[in-house]
């Protein structure tokens, strides 16, 4: 009986262990296939917990200084097509150089034509050449003045650094227009057959009889009676030239005339020796005869003579004819005065 009970118990135990082994084997098989979790279901979270970060307060003073980020090298997208590199050795002018000649208007004629002076150089010593005081009658002196303007424009180096040269081409533009029908420059072909009326200004006054030295209202030219004006400096052309010259206080004034073939020094009434020195410098270089005074007939109210009263050396240069400019001769005289002006006594 006892043995039978023990057998029954052993058989039941074996069946229990067999079932346990079978379950264990089946669990291993399911786990190997990934059908069972590695941990119990109760320990697997269904939702990730939300993390709560602590609040950190940063004071402004504790922030590091801001440093902008810039590229190491800025490269333009395109190079402007007009860009030109200037070599460092090349000087850059801030203003254009001064022109070799400048022109100023210093007055007007009776009929309102401009009186013009061309200036060369910028030295302290002033020298003045004047043409056309007798207008269209002595038209070759006007052309001589324009020829001189062209020469010194092309040759500014001929003006000493200590000199300012002024050239007035026509002091009597009304008389010039009457004889040539031209203002400013003209051609010999423009000159009327009878140019004598062009000797006077529009008031019919001889401008070289209207200055305040031995002035007379009734004057003469050769054997003809002419007008010296109602009073000295009655004519606007002479007033303008007087007011132009006095502030300059020139060391030499040359008036071109025609046609007595010579250089005449100024005197009022006696010879002004600095004028004679000037006449000698010009005359010898130009190969003109040199005279202390003009004595072919009485001249009153002469411009050069009045300047001598102001202690300004002045001369009258008479060309050989009424047609020629005597260019080579007068160029020599002009250059001699420019280069030897310092020998003129003041």
What residue ranges define each of the domains in the chain, with the CATH number in brackets?
Answer: 101-343 (3.40.630.10)
Query: What does the block give as tokens for 163?
Result: 């000199």
CB 201 within 8 A of CB 235: yes
Phi and psi dihedrals of 285, rounded to 5?
-65, -35
- State the pLDDT at residue 342: 52
Q: What are the distances in angstroms from CA 296 to CA 189, 222, 293?
A: 31, 8, 9
Quick: pLDDT tens for 294-320: 988 999 999 999 999 999 999 999 999
Quick: pLDDT tens for 241-292: 999 999 999 999 999 999 999 999 999 999 999 999 999 999 999 999 999 9
> How far is residue 101's CA from residue 218's CA, in Å, rounded to a whole number?
40
> How far is residue 298's CA from residue 30's CA, in Å, rounded to a whole number?
156
- State the pLDDT at residue 191: 98
- State the pLDDT at residue 243: 98
Quick: pLDDT tens for 31-72: 444 444 444 443 333 444 444 444 434 344 444 444 444 444
CB 337 within 8 A of CB 127: yes
Phi and psi dihedrals of 188, rounded to 5?
-55, -25
Q: Could you tell me which residue, 179 or 74, shows the higher pLDDT? A: 179
- State the pLDDT at residue 73: 40
- State the pLDDT at residue 156: 96
Q: What is the b/e burial string over 224-235, where b = at least 16 CB atoms within 10 angstroms of the residue's CB?
A: eebbbbeebbbb
Q: What is the b/e burial string over 298-337, where b = at least 16 CB atoms within 10 angstroms of the residue's CB?
A: ebbbbbbbbbbeeebbbbbbbbbeeeebbeebbbbbbbbb
Phi and psi dihedrals of 117, rounded to 5?
-130, 130
> How far is residue 172's CA from residue 89's CA, in Å, rounded to a whole number?
52
Beta-carbon contacts of 31 under 8 Å, excluding residues fewer than 6 positions away, are 38
Question: Does the global pTM surpass 0.75?
Answer: no
Phi and psi dihedrals of 288, rounded to 5?
-105, 150
> How far is residue 229's CA from residue 215's CA, in Å, rounded to a whole number?
9
Quick: pLDDT tens for 228-240: 999 999 999 999 9
> How far is residue 3's CA from residue 213's CA, in Å, rounded to a whole number?
186
Q: Report the pLDDT averaged over residues 76-97.
A: 42
Residue among 300, 295, 134, 296 at smallest CA distance from 217: 300
Q: What is the mean pLDDT of the chain?
A: 81
Using the Cα atoms of residue 186, residue 190, residue 195 and residue 201 in order, give the sign of their dihedral.
negative
Q: Report the pLDDT averaged over residues 4-33.
A: 47
DSSP codes joined into one string, 141-152: HHHHHHHHHHHH
Phi and psi dihedrals of 70, rounded to 5?
-125, 150
Q: Report the pLDDT averaged over residues 329-333.
A: 98
Q: What are the residues facing 125 on neighbouring strands?
A: 163
Judged against a pLDDT cut of 50, whether residue 155 lies above it is answered with: yes
Query: What does the block give as tokens for 340?
Result: 């030897």
In this structure, which long-range contacts are made by residues 323-330, counting pairs with CB atoms below 8 Å and at least 24 apart in sequence? 323/140, 323/188, 324/140, 325/140, 325/143, 325/144, 325/147, 326/144, 326/286, 327/144, 327/147, 329/286, 329/287, 329/288, 330/144, 330/148, 330/256, 330/286
- State the pLDDT at residue 101: 83
């Amino acid at each position: 009986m006892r043995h039978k009970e023990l057998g029954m118990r052993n058989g039941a135990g074996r069946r229990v262990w067999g079932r346990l082994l079978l379950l264990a084997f089946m669990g291993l098989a399911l786990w190997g296939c990934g059908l069972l979790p590695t941990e119990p279901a109760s320990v697997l979270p269904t939702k990730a917990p939300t993390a709560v970060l602590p609040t950190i307060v940063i004071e402004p003073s504790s922030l590091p200084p801001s440093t902008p980020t810039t590229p190491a090298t800025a490269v333009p997208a395109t190079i402007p097509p007009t860009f030109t590199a200037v070599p460092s050795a090349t000087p850059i002018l801030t203003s254009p150089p001064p022109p070799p000649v400048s022109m100023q208007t210093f007055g007007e004629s009776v009929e309102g034509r401009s009186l013009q002076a061309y200036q060369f150089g910028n030295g302290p010593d002033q020298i003045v050449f004047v043409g056309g005081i007798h207008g269209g009658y002595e038209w070759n002196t006007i052309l001589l003045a324009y020829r001189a303007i062209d020469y010194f424009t092309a040759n500014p180096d001929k003006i000493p650094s200590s000199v300012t040269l002024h050239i007035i081409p026509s002091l009597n533009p009304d008389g010039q227009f009457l004889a040539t029908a031209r203002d400013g420059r003209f051609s010999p072909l423009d000159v009327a057959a009878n140019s004598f009326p062009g000797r006077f200004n529009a008031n019919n006054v001889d401008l070289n009889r209207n200055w305040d030295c031995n002035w007379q209202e009734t004057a003469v030219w050769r054997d003809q009676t002419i007008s010296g004006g109602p009073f000295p400096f009655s004519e606007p052309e002479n007033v303008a030239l007087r007011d132009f010259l006095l502030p300059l206080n020139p060391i030499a004034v040359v008036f071109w005339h025609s046609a007595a073939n010579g250089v005449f020094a100024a005197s009022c009434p006696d010879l002004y020796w600095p004028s004679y020195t000037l006449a000698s410098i010009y005359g010898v270089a130009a190969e003109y005869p040199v005279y202390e005074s003009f004595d072919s007939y009485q001249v009153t109210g002469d411009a050069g003579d009045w300047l001598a009263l102001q202690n300004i050396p002045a001369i009258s240069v008479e060309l050989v004819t009424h047609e020629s400019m005597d260019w080579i001769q007068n160029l020599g005289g002009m250059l001699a005065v420019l280069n030897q002006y310092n020998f003129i006594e003041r």
